[in-house]
Amino acid sequence: MSEPLTEAELRQRAVALLARRDHARRELVTKLQQRLGDQPALAAVLAWCEEHGFIDDRRFAGFFVRARIERGQGALRIRQELQLKGVQNDWIAEALENAEVDWFALAREVRARRFRHYPTDQKEKAKQLRFLQSRGFDAEQSFAALDVPQDDLD
């Protein structure tokens, strides 16, 4: 594709991407290869970035999980996205564990934000259930979010 860059030039490109936002290692490799083609110095630059703490998949997983929870996404979707970015399953599990979030409460909150009322018929229930599952909540969390609380029955 393009001419090989020096290690210093490649380092600059990598740091420029990392300055915008944190990246997982594989995500950074993919971006650099898409933009610059195969670069012989890429492995050395990645090692340098890791050595200096610019790339840390464990830290990335933690930030990513918190950001996705704020967006109202469930654990299943977050796990899948992190796996696609090449983060190790151990670090994904650790980040989700350390998130200290009540997934059931989050599912209820997300459902309430999207839908003003609880489902009254099967069609509406199916619609809300599909929405919650598309956001990454498991079946148990999704069904629990659709249950009308006792306070609302009085």
* Whether 149 and 107 share a structural domain: yes
Same domain, 35 and 72: no
Dump pLDDT digits (tens) for 88-106. 999 999 999 999 999 999 9
Does residue 23 surpass a pLDDT of 90?
Answer: yes
pLDDT at 1 over 80: no
Query: Is the same domain home to 146 and 116?
Result: yes
Task: State the DSSP string of 7-20.
Answer: HHHHHHHHHHHHHH
Does the pLDDT value for residue 75 go beyond 60?
yes
Q: Is the pLDDT at 153 greater than 60, yes or no? A: no
Residue range 138-154: mean pLDDT, rounded: 81
Angle, alpha carbons 44-46-50 (nearest 5°): 115
d(CA 28, CA 47): 12
In the predicted structure, residue 44 carries a pLDDT above the cut 60? yes
Q: Is 21 a domain residue? A: yes
Whether the predicted pLDDT of 32 surpasses 70: yes
Q: Which domain holds residue 94?
A: 57-98
Find the mean pLDDT for residues 2-26: 91
Give domain status of residue 2, yes or no: no
How many domains are contained in the chain?
Answer: 3
Determine, yes or no, domain membership for 29: yes
Predicted local confidence at residue 154, as pLDDT: 43
